[in-house]
Amino acid sequence: MILPNTVIKNLSPSAGGGLIHPFSDEQLRPSSYDLTVGDEYYIEEGNGALTVETQNLKKKQTLIIPPHAICFLLAAETINLPADVTAKVSLRMTHIYAGMMLTTQPPFDPGYSGKVIVMLHNFSSSPVCIKSGERIATIEFMRLESGVTNLRAHRSVNNLVEQLRQPLISSLRQIANSSKDAQDKVAWLSGQMVIFAALIVAILAIPGLLSYNALFDRLGDQTQRSNNMDVALDQYREELRLNKLETEKLRVQMTQLQSRSSSVASSPEAEKSITGETP
């Protein structure tokens, strides 16, 4: 049977030593109790560290859980379970909606007394911010049908650093980092391909540029030759004009000579000379 809020409150006297300490009515829910972020945490760094180094969280200070990273939090509350009560921890929906997941952990055995460790995994691609004293998880208490025999509760947890034996690395974070490295390489190769393509275009354009220059040079030569031919043609036209003038002069002279010859041939003296008569 899950303990209701009235029973949880009755088992948690304000003097301490009860089911939950410290106890606050504001964190009490109908059938559970909200645990808050304590003063110690550990976030896997993924940098090949050989030792575990936890961090202290001051009051109202905020910690940032990187994308795909694992984070261990020590809750601020201490629980003291009777011999006929067990408990289990769940993540609050607010953090589930933010992409956080609570690693499945076994229920607390009856008789356990100590702190609660919350292991979180950021499955989102964005960092998640958590503040000291913030509600992070919910704990439910179940009463057993009868008390247990040979009670051997889990050893008490007082801090976080004593529970972690070696540095942790999230496989999801490794995959994300590998994916990012691959994307960076693809982006670099794409840039190199663009540069290579630009070089190829430039190399291919050089012969064309040289051909264009040669064509322009040849066109200039042809233009000069055409201009020279126009000058020569003008000279030929002038010579032809002069030749026509000379020819016209010669024609006039020939006409005059022919006219004179006809006049001389038709005179009486010319006829007598032809017939042999003497004047």
Q: Is 90 exceeded by the pLDDT of residue 17?
A: no
Q: Which of 44, 129, 55 is nearest to 95 (CA)?
A: 129
pLDDT score of 220: 73
Residue ranges per domain, the chain? 5-167
Sign of the torsion angle spanned by Cα atoms 198, 202, 208, 212: positive
pLDDT score of 36: 96
- Angle of CA points 32, 35, 38, to nearest 5°: 170
CATH class (in words) of the domain with range 5-167? mainly beta
Summarised one tens digit per residue, pLDDT across range 160-187 is: 888 887 776 666 655 656 666 666 666 7
Mean pLDDT across the chain: 80
pTM over cut 0.75: no
Summarised one tens digit per residue, pLDDT across range 207-264 is: 655 555 665 676 677 777 777 777 777 787 787 788 778 777 766 777 776 666 666 5
Q: If you search the block for the tokens 């036209």, which residue do you land on?
A: 237
Q: pLDDT band for position 114 (50/70/90)?
A: very high
Q: pLDDT band for position 275 (50/70/90)?
A: very low
Q: Is 90 exceeded by the pLDDT of residue 35?
A: yes
Summarised one tens digit per residue, pLDDT across range 40-49 is: 999 876 666 6
Q: Is 80 exceeded by the pLDDT of residue 100?
A: yes
Cα–Cα distance list, 276 to 185, 262, 266, 271, 273 (Å): 129, 20, 16, 9, 5
CA atoms of 192 and 181, how far apart (whole Å): 16
pLDDT score of 273: 45
Segment 43-61 shows an average pLDDT of 78
pLDDT score of 278: 44
Q: Is 60 exceeded by the pLDDT of residue 75?
A: yes
| Helix extents (H) in the chain | 5-10, 93-97, 171-265, 268-275
Task: Name residues whose C-beta falls within 8 Å of residue 44's C-beta, 6 or more positions apart in sequence.
Answer: 69, 70, 71, 167, 168, 169, 170, 173
